[in-house]
Amino acid sequence: MELQDLWFILISVLFIGFFFLEGFDYGVGILLPFLGKDDRERRAIINTIGPVWDGNEVWMITAGGAIFAAFPNWYATLFSGFYLALVLILLALILRGVAFEFRSKDEHPRWRMIWDRVIFTGSLVPALLWGVAFGNLVKGTPINAAMRFTGNFFDLLSPYSLLCGLAGLVVFMLHGAIFLSLKTDGTLRERAEVAAERIWYPVVVVAALLAVANYVYIDIFNKIGVNPGVMPITSAAALLAVGYFLHEKQYGWAFFMMGLTILLSVATFFWFLYPNVMVSSTSDAYSLTVHNAAASHKTLELMTIVALSFVPIVLLYQGWTYWVFRKRITADAKLEY
């Protein structure tokens, strides 16, 4: 295995971690106005992710930095072509972070209502647009021989990419509802459990539509043939298992299976994409690959040493954070946000 291939795998692992951790993070923010009936309940919901939301976003920053260093041509084409979408994600995340910090600064109901809406919007927009962005990566975008994006923002809004965005949105909502089932108690927990069971059905429907769309919009038959492969089948089985465990009220197992669904789905995406990193809809010859988009061998060697040195430390620290804040939260508990 060459270093380019190794870094493609490492970047896929970073995105898997990001979507697993930030997935329930986004889901909690989207469900905030629906599950929290008053200020104390909404504060309790926010406090389930209060100690960890900023740490979860580090995975996105690290993934972006890894793309910049390991595949500079990919980074340049991606961030220029998806500029408006990425700016919208960035603005949403900035406002979301500000809302977490500002909502508790004033007890006036209108003040807190405004910031709660910002949290909702700042969670919904990235959840939707990340799916749209990843759908365009695998479907293909207008790229010329100079590795330049030649389209516009509306070229990114195809039926397939919008379906991918919808899939990301409902998956994160389900992930967030199951997370709240494990992190809250009392009435909040009951509402989260009901929400998880209800959201599971549209997730299955959207997942089925996306599976069909993969064969309609993407040249997967040449990639994997008639056999869909182990990862997509296992991912579908894990999603069905989520529904079973929700029905059986085993929310720990439901959360595990939801995480496995996300892991296998993102891994399948990168499997479909490889050896490309961005597919050109103009010509296959113009597609960016792990070879023509990669940095020098020396750069990749240095990055590998740094990653092997510091990634374990980050994992240990984040694991410790989740362990410290592992207890359930109720609306009557002492709240911060």
Distances (CA, A) of 3 to 101, 303, 329, 333: 41, 10, 44, 50
pLDDT at 117 over 60: yes
Alpha carbon of residue 229 to chain centroid: 23
Rounded mean pLDDT of 119-123?
A: 95
List 276's β-bridge partners, or say none: 289
Residue 336 has a pLDDT of 56
Which amino acid makes up residue 189? R
Q: Say which residues have a Cβ less than 8 Å from residue 86's Cβ, sequence separation at least 6.
A: 79, 133
Sign of CA dihedral 189, 193, 194, 195: positive
Return the higher-pLDDT residue of 153 and 250.
250
pLDDT at 193 over 50: yes
pLDDT per position as a tens digit, 280-324 = 888 888 889 999 999 888 888 888 888 888 888 888 888 888 888
- Domain boundaries along the sequence of the chain: 3-324
Return the higher-pLDDT residue of 127 and 282.
127
Half-sphere exposure of 52 (CA within 13 A, CB side): 27
Residue 257 — very low, low, confident or very high, per pLDDT cuts 50/70/90?
very high
Q: Model pTM?
A: 0.90
Rounded mean pLDDT of 218-225?
A: 54
Least confident of 5-19, 126-140, 242-256, 316-330: 316-330
Question: Which backbone phi and psi does 248 adopt, to 5 degrees?
Answer: -85, 5
Taking the C-alpha atoms of residue 104 and residue 119, their distance in angstroms, rounded to an integer, is 13
pLDDT per position as a tens digit, 9-21 = 999 999 999 999 9
Least confident of 8-12, 50-54, 112-116, 144-148: 50-54
pLDDT per position as a tens digit, 29-56 = 999 999 988 888 999 999 999 888 888 8
pLDDT per position as a tens digit, 58-91 = 888 888 889 998 999 999 999 888 888 889 999 9
Residue 84 has a pLDDT of 87
Residue 50 has a pLDDT of 85
Return the higher-pLDDT residue of 25 and 1.
25
Residue 224 has a pLDDT of 46
The three-state DSSP-derived secondary structure of 199-267 is HHHHHHHHHHHHHHHHHHHCCCHHHHCCCCCHHHHHHHHHHHHHHHHHHCCCHHHHHHHHHHHHHHHHH
List 288's β-bridge partners, or say none: 278
Rounded mean pLDDT of 210-231?
A: 66
Q: Say which residues have a Cβ less than 8 Å from residue 328's Cβ, sequence separation at least 6.
A: 182, 183, 184, 185, 189
**Average predicted confidence (pLDDT) for the chain:** 88
Residue with tokens 């006036």: 108
pLDDT at 279 over 70: yes
Residue 269 — very low, low, confident or very high, per pLDDT cuts 50/70/90?
confident
Which pair of tokens denotes residue 14? 């970073």
Asked if residue 210 lies in contact with residue 165, where contact means CB atoms within 8 angstroms, the answer is: no
Distances (CA, A) of 283 to 56, 260, 279, 292: 37, 35, 9, 15
What is the DSSP-derived secondary structure letter of residue 65?
Answer: H
Residue 219 — very low, low, confident or very high, per pLDDT cuts 50/70/90?
low
Which residue, among 199, 33, 39, has the nearest Cα to 120 in the 3D structure? 33
pLDDT at 335 over 60: no
Residue 106 has a pLDDT of 81
Q: What percent of the chain has pLDDT over 90?
A: 48
